[in-house]
Amino acid sequence: MSHFSPLSTLPPDALLGLMTAYRADERAEKFDLGVGVYKDENGETPILSAVRKGEAKMLAAQTTKVYEGPRGNTDFCAHIEQFVFGKDHPALKEGRVLSFTAPGGCGALFLGVGLMRRMGARRVWVSKPTWPNHPNVVKSLGLEVQEYAYSRDGAFYKLGALADLSTAERGDGVIIQGSCHNPTGIDPSTDDWRELGRLCKDKGVIALLDVAYHGFASGLDKDMDGVRAFIEEAGEALISYSCSKNFGLYRERTGCFLAVGETAEGIAAATTHVADMSRATWSMPPAHGAGIVATILGDAELRAEWEAELSAMRLRMISLREQLADSLVSHTGSNLLGALKKQNGMFSQLPICAEDTVKAREVDGIYMPSSGRINIAGLHPDDIPRLGEILARYLV
Ligand code: PLP
Q: How far is the CA of 182 from the centre of ligand 1 (A)?
A: 9
Q: How far is CA 113 from CA 15, 142, 208, 238, in A?
A: 24, 10, 8, 9
105 C-alpha to ligand 1 centroid (Å): 5
d(CA 51, CA 147): 38
The pLDDT > 90 percentage for the chain reads 93
Q: What percent of the chain has pLDDT over 70?
A: 100
Query: Higher model confidence: residue 234 or residue 332?
Result: 234
Q: What is the tens place of the pLDDT at every residue in 272-300?
A: 999 999 999 999 999 999 999 999 999 99
C-alpha 323 – ligand 1 centre gap (Å): 26
DSSP assignment string, 16-52 = HHHHHHHHH---SS-EE----S---TTS--PPPHHHH
Residues with CB under 6 A from ligand 1: 36, 104-106, 131, 177, 182, 210, 212, 242, 244, 250, 255
- pLDDT of 334-381, one tens digit each? 887 889 999 999 999 999 999 999 999 999 999 999 999 999 998 999
Ligand 1 centroid to Cα of residue 212, in Å, is 5
Does position 271 have pLDDT exceeding 90, yes or no?
Answer: yes
CA dihedral for 23, 27, 29, 34, sign (positive or negative): negative
Q: How many Å apart are CA 126 and CA 149, to the nearest integer?
A: 9
Q: For residue 148, list its beta bridge partners.
A: 127
Nearest CA to ligand 1 atom 2: 212
Q: What is the Cα–Cα distance from 396 to 385, expressed in whole angstroms?
A: 17
Q: Which residue's alpha carbon is nearest to atom 1 within ligand 1?
A: 212
DSSP letter at 143?
Answer: P
Give 123-133 pLDDT, tens digit per residue. 999 999 999 99
Q: What are phi and psi of 368, to 5 degrees?
A: -150, 155
> Ligand 1 center to residue 232 CA distance, Å?
25
The sign of the CA dihedral 228, 234, 240, 245 is: negative
Give the domains, in start order, of the chain with CATH numbers.
Answer: 14-47+312-395 (3.90.1150.10), 67-298 (3.40.640.10)
258 contacts 107 by C-beta, under 8 angstroms: no
How far is Cα 79 from Cα 258, in angstroms, rounded to an integer? 12
CA distance 371 to 51: 33
What is the SS3 assignment for 148?
strand
What are the pLDDT digits (tens) for 209-244?
Answer: 999 999 999 999 999 999 999 999 999 999 999 999
**Which amino acid belongs to residue 137?**
V
pLDDT at position 316, please?
A: 96
Over 90: is that where the pLDDT of 15 sits?
no
Name which residue sits closest to atom 6 of ligand 1, judged by CA: 212
pLDDT the model gives residue 12: 85
Beta bridge partner(s), residue 256: 101, 241
pLDDT digit string, tens, across residues 176-193: 999 999 999 999 999 999
Residue of the CA atom closest to atom 5 of ligand 1:
182
**Which of 76, 80, 106, 246 has the most ligand 1 atoms within 8 A of CB, as the residue to mutate?**
106
Q: Is the per-residue pLDDT at 396 higher than 70?
A: no
Rounded to two decimals, the pTM is: 0.97
100 membership: H or E segment, kind and range:
strand 97-102
Closest CA to 240 of 50, 384, 100, 390: 100
CB 390 within 8 A of CB 328: no
Helix (H) or strand (E) holding 97: strand 97-102
Residue from 244, 383, 395 nearest 328 by CA: 395
Strands 255-260 and 373-375, sheet pairing: unpaired
Nearest ligand 1 atom, CA 244: 16
Compute the mean pLDDT over every residue in the chain, rounded to the nearest whole number: 96
pLDDT in tens, 28-75: 999 999 888 999 989 899 999 999 999 999 999 999 999 999 999 999
Active site residues: 131, 210, 245
d(CA 296, CA 29): 41
- Asked if residue 183 has a cis previous peptide bond (ω within 30° of 0), the answer is yes
pLDDT digits (tens, 9 = 90+) for 49-59: 999 999 999 99
